[in-house]
A and B are shown apart, each in its own frame.
Chain A
Amino acid sequence: MSAKIRILVVDDELIVRESLKGWLKKGGYEVDTAASGPESLEMLELAPYDLLFLDIMMPKMNGLEVLEIVKKRFPETLVVMITAYGSVETAVKAMKNGANDYLMKPFEPETLALLVEKLLQQKRIIDENLLLKEQVARSVRFENIIGVSEEMQKIFEMIMDISATDVPVLITGETGTGKELIAKAIHAKSPRKHGPFIPINCGAFPEHLLETELFGHEKGAFTGAHRAKKGRIEMSHGGTLFLDEVGEIPLKMQVDLLRVLETKSFHRVGGTEEINVDFRILAATNRNLLEEINKGNFRQDFYYRLNVISLHIPPLRERPEDIPVLAEHFMRRYSRETNKDIDTITPEAMEVLKRYPWPGNVRELQNAIERAVVISKKRCLDVDEFSFLQVSQKGAGEAKSLEEIEKEHIEAMLRAHDWNISKTARALKINRVTLHKKIKKYGLKRSGQDQCKPDNSRKS
């Protein structure tokens, strides 16, 4: 560990620089020296140092001036001021200005050793703390949202910007683009993060059920209401309410919800008591709400209330550079979940994934990888594992003869069964002789794509 610790000794006296360097090197540390303040700052620009021994009395730029710059530009470097007998006041001033400690020349061997040990221990804790903070921030900020594309980076930045406020956000994007994940990320980064995140899919309930789901009901409000029940709005008190598929909310309920958003209060179904709630609203839709307004299906005032900030997630086909990272993420996840040792996707298979238009977006990609991992018997995912994508891709919209489709289908099934004739014939529900005839007729040959070795290491 100590071999990686870098120390810079800054002193205008050669003898001090060299003897301190020699002493520290015996401890196994990597030590450099600088003869002046400006030289030390140049060295700090080039490489990070864990610890700086800094002489106070130096010509050109004194130690206090150097300290000020170091604390501003390289705050991760710890600083020990070196002072001569009689300049303790300056040393105290340096401590007030952020120096971590000071030593008076000449030092007691034990004092120097203990000081170095103490500061490096401190440095290790600071570094670990920084690392953990970074990891936590990253995991909260982009938990399960993966994207290297410029579009996604902009979305991440926007999440950071809008999280701190309480304004409503309307998230738009095709189905399967991850609108709920974005909503969760906004909640997780907001001051309401310790409160609940309550999602409701407004398209999943018939009108009367949606009303009780949202507003709750009192005991006896309707037949079957044996006891009072809190609605999602009430449950989201102190947190965030996420209205998914907001375009599906019936017009009448849009009025009720608009009132709740304006007054932050409501009544349960069948109740008279006014309940005050404090929540943030996030909404999502895959519909074009402006068109719906024109058609009279969506209220304009409700739209403006929800759409204070709009966040559009582009479909996966518009950001193909995200496909490899997403695919690998899902591959790792599902190989872990299925207890398989699958660790790569071959370049050919990745090419197939990149070419596919993904009408179902990230959700479809996720399902495709899950399916491939489940059926794979090898240590990597190859083209064969994604044959179901190729078939649907090629078949889409092109005018093909029945023979062409038969040929492609037989070829895909052969690949899927690793050219095992019996299994393929069984899957195609034809006998082996017929399959052989078809293979001969269409001139099908096994290609050299089998790059993956069978996973013999897996125990059954």
Chain B
Amino acid sequence: MSGESGVVGIVPIGEVKQVVLKILAANIQAVFNIPVDILNGRKSLKKFFNPNRNQYNAITILDHMERRWKQPHKRILAVVSVDLFIPILTYVFGEAQINGKMAVVSTYRLNRRTGGGNVSLERFYERVAKVGIHELAHTFGLVHCKENHCVMRASYSLRDLDYYPLYFCDYCQSMLDDVYRRMKLRTLKARSFEDLF
């Protein structure tokens, strides 16, 4: 990355493997076509723990980040490896502020295989990327899409998550382009074939 900060900052909270952050950053950069930075995060998640539910409150995490975060990035995607909830739901894969700045993704449930055991690492990384992209898109104002071939399709189970693709449908892509234009965001320029060699 150059000295200029990226549009999206990826922030680990608690223990998250670097490889997860790197893969997530690469996927977001590829799908959103905007520069992404991996930032230093916060060590402890204790503040967000709810002993009654034995889970971590996603909304409190987003509120806390919004109050404290001073980085110049337009959007922040937090990554945690603990189980998240919001008060009305038993669990969430991720949470985001619609048209806001903050989103969070949890890797906690994403390695599970239906019927027990774990899925392959490739499948796990793909799921992390899908949830991360989906939640981040909410911060750009995108809502759930009815299209089956769209990462913005609502998924409430791992089965759904595996079924939907990692990219936006044409409609959501054009909505996102509109938002970029309104925000005057700098997108990544495609390099010419010669530049690659």
Contact = CB atoms under 8 A, between A and B. Distances in A.
A220 interface: no
Interface stretch (A100-108, A123-131, A201-209, A433-441): A100-108
Given A27-B154, A113-B154, A16 B87 contact: yes
A19 B143 contact: no
Given A15-B59, A19-B86, A26 B138 contact: yes
B20 interface: no
Interface residues of B, number: 21
A112 interface: yes
B92 interface: yes
B154 A106 contact: no
B98 A106 contact: no
The prevalent SS among residues of A at the interface is helix
B1 interface: no
A109 B89 contact: yes
Given A113-B154, A113-B156, A23 B89 contact: yes
B88 A20 contact: yes
Contact of B88 (A19, A26, A27): A19
Nearest to A117: B154
A28 interface: yes
Interface size class of A (residues with CB under 8 A): 20 to 34
A18 B86 CA distance: 10
Contacts of A16: 87-88
B22 interface: no
Interface in B24-61: 53, 59
A105 B88 CA distance: 6
B164 interface: no
Contacts, number: 59
B89 A112 contact: yes
B144 A23 contact: no
A28 B98 CA distance: 10
Contact of A106 (B88, B138, B144, B156): B88
- The winner among A19, A23, A105 for most chain B CB atoms within 10 A is A19
Contacts of A23: 86, 88-89
Interface in B81-135: 85-92, 95-98
Contacts of B143: 25-28
A13 B88 CA distance: 11
Given A25-B143, A26-B144, A27-B143, A110 B87 contact: no
Contacts of B97: 22
A19 B156 contact: no
A28 B172 CA distance: 13
Contacts of A105: 87-88
B138 A109 contact: no
B87 A106 contact: yes
Contacts of A28: 143-144
Nearest to B143: A28
A108 B85 CA distance: 11
Interface in A83-136: 105-110, 112-113
Given A22-B98, A110-B157, A113-B156, A15 B89 contact: no
19 contacts: A15-B87, A16-B87, A19-B86, A22-B95, A22-B97, A22-B98, A26-B96, A26-B138, A26-B143, A27-B144, A105-B87, A105-B88, A106-B89, A108-B89, A109-B89, A109-B156, A109-B157, A110-B157, A112-B89
Q: Shortest 8 CB-CB distances between A and B: which pairs?
A: A28-B143, A110-B156, A109-B156, A19-B86, A15-B87, A19-B87, A27-B144, A113-B156
Interface of A: 2, 13, 15-16, 18-20, 22-23, 25-28, 105-110, 112-113
